[in-house]
A = this chain, B = another copy of it.
Amino acid sequence: MKTSIEGFVIDLDGTVYKGSNLINGAAEAVAMLKQLGKRIVFLSNRGNISRKMCHDKLGRLGLDIDEEEILLTSTVTARFLKDYYESSPVWVLGDQGLKDELEAGDILMAERPELAEWLVITLHETLTYEELNDAFRAVRHGARIIATNADKTFPRDDGDSIDVAGMIGAIVSATGREVDIVIGKPSQLMAEAALNVLQLPPERCLVIGDSLESDIRLGKKAGMQTALVLTGSVSMEEAEASHIQPDWIWPSLADVTSILAPAEKGLQR
């Protein structure tokens, strides 16, 4: 069966950039896909930045894309709250970027932790004890917990660093309350949000990412094609040993050309 791929769901951290550095060939690959008229959405588990911040960063790295082509877990968290809990006040444990994105999504913020019905947790790189304690008090007073994602570690320029799982673990361990919802990949919520941007059936779409657990699993669950890149968290050995098998394994995003030219010869499945 030949399936022409028209939509691309592309991960960011470890696929397009790593820390503050662009991954070799990533900008050219994206520019080429756009030139061919392909539809693209960048789908990231980052929940501590806003789409505006992400768009600015990608612009600095040389990627010319629209803000609407970016979906972060902060974006999808805001939409989820707006769709299902519009009148519920929210407290945030996380960076300003999440607060900005929730504000852009017109989400009701609680005035005090004790008044919150939801606590939203994301990475908080300027976390203080008092902020942790406010979040603790929100949950002790009945707030349910949404996590933008549950990643344990992220690659910072000075090395792997503690991610959202640390912030979640602090609150869950001290309150005894579990997380109600994790928004991030490989959730159905993220897959639906991506397909909604692309406006294509899943089988015409390809997920490209560096994580078997989040990117490839999301693609498989949603019926999309999948390509793992080795520029991030997974080595070839780990990929081959995994029970999750992508349709393709590429050294990097630049290898997306292999399935496009000439005459999309690589698309046979």
Contacts and interface: CB of A to CB of B under 8 A. Distances in A.
Interface of A: 124-129, 132-133, 136-137, 140, 152-153, 159-163, 165-176
A129 B132 contact: no
Identical subunits present: 2
Contact of A173 (B128, B133, B137, B173): B173
A127 B129 contact: yes
Closest 4 CB pairs of A and B: A169-B173, A169-B169, A136-B162, A166-B174
B162 A169 contact: no
Q: Binding site of A, secondary structure by majority: helix, strand, loop or mixed? A: helix
A119 to B, nearest CB: 13
A136 B165 CA distance: 11
Given A125-B129, A165-B173, A169-B174, 20 more contacts: A126-B128, A127-B127, A128-B128, A133-B161, A136-B153, A136-B166, A137-B160, A137-B161, A140-B160, A152-B174, A152-B175, A162-B170, A162-B174, A166-B171, A166-B174, A167-B170, A168-B173, A170-B170, A170-B173, A172-B173
Nearest to A137: B159
A177 to B, nearest CB: 11
A137 B160 CA distance: 8
A218 to B, nearest CB: 22
Contacts of A162: 129, 132-133, 136, 170-171, 174
A193 to B, nearest CB: 26
Nearest to A128: B128
Most central of A126, A153, A167, A170 by chain B CB within 10 Å: A170
A124 to B, nearest CB: 6
A93 to B, nearest CB: 11
A160 B174 CA distance: 11
15 contacts: A126-B129, A127-B128, A129-B162, A133-B161, A133-B162, A136-B153, A136-B161, A152-B173, A152-B176, A162-B171, A166-B170, A166-B171, A169-B171, A169-B173, A169-B174
Nearest to A167: B170
